[in-house]
Every structure is written in structure tokens, then in C-alpha cells.
Structure 1
């Protein structure tokens, strides 16, 4: 099974590695400061692997600077992230989920990668 989305270009920055955890997610609802992410509906086979990737993403997000809280609801297959839009551009989330290597998405991956190294 192939992933539901992939990055258009091969990443050269190690922090972009965190984006591979996000490819299993879709934006369900987003207002600046609050985003609800859902597990991609295409994920039926390999669900356990997809959930493991999402849990790693949530773990990194929960300690990243600028993120206020992260709630994971496995039953609903969703994740709610509350963040400071003054520190994290709202477009960073949609770009990250889409695999778009914008400056905002790269800045977000640096935050996520830095926090995941600290919590490792």
C-alpha cells in the first residue's frame, strides 16, 4: 500500500523527516490557533502502522514551542492541536499535511524535530 500523500521533492533537511508522520493526516477543521486533524480515510489496511506514525507526530507536537495542547482521540481517529498563531503560521499546518515545503512548513518541522529530539 502506498501512502495517501507524499512530499513532492526529496527532503534535504533532516527536520523534514517529521513530515512523514503527517502524511497519514488530513485537515478536518482549521481556524488560526486551533486545528483538528483526522486520520486519512484511505487508511484501512496498515492501520496499526499509520496510528503509530500519528502517535509519533502527536508526541513531537505536544512538546514543540508555540503549541499549547495536543489531544489525540483514537476512537474518533482525530487529533486536536491548539497553537499560538503568532509563533506558528496557520498555513504551516496545511502545507505540512500537504507535503508542501514552504518556509512556514519548514519552520514548523524545525519546531517539531527539535522537540522530538528533546523528548527522545
Structure 2
């Protein structure tokens, strides 16, 4: 038999778990983890935060180098629900900007990329 004082706590706990589960599933669905399409490989993102824990802001170039060694010079990262295709290294960037310039001509500027790289190189965001 359950004490009468315990029911509100149990109901609130169940409600909280259901709400958090819906939030996590919504984040996963919006991030497109299950529908990769033609995106390059990359580390598996966490719900809501993406790959933020794998990228240390003060060691960002080293983190990108390590990921490029594992996934190749073109890989996908997730920043929250936003997917970013990263080109790492001279050859990958040259191929994108010269050999496939038509595909990248309409790419806009993104404040997040400007803030992360702090004047070190550039990013091409998908």
C-alpha cells in the first residue's frame, strides 16, 4: 500500500521523466542523427549539445586535427541541432574552393564559426 503523501511526489517524478524524455527525443529528431543522408562521417553527437564535449575551445585546432586523423579530412560535427561539415587540411580546402567552387559559392557567414576560429583559418559550413 502506498502512503497518501507519496503520490504527488511519484506523479511529479513521472511527469518530469516524460518531459525530459520528450525533450531529448525531440533534440535527436531535429538534429537529423537518424537521417544522415550524404553527410561525411563524424563522431556521434549527444542530444541537445551535439559534439560540444569533444571540442575544447582552448584546444580547438588540436581537437580538429585529432578528429581529422580518425574520420579523414572531411567530417561532420553537430553543434546543438546544427550540422557542420568540416574541411581540415590544405588539400580538402583546395578541392572545395577550386575544384568544386560552384557548390560552395552561396555559403554565407556564420557568427559561430567566426567566434570559434578567432582569426585562425576559415570554416565552410554546410
If asked which structure has higher relative contact order (CA below 8 Å, sep 6+), I would say 1
Q: TM-score, normalised by structure 2?
A: 0.25
Q: TM-score, normalised by structure 1?
A: 0.25
Q: Which has the higher helix share?
A: 2
* Larger CA Rg, structure 1 vs 2: 2
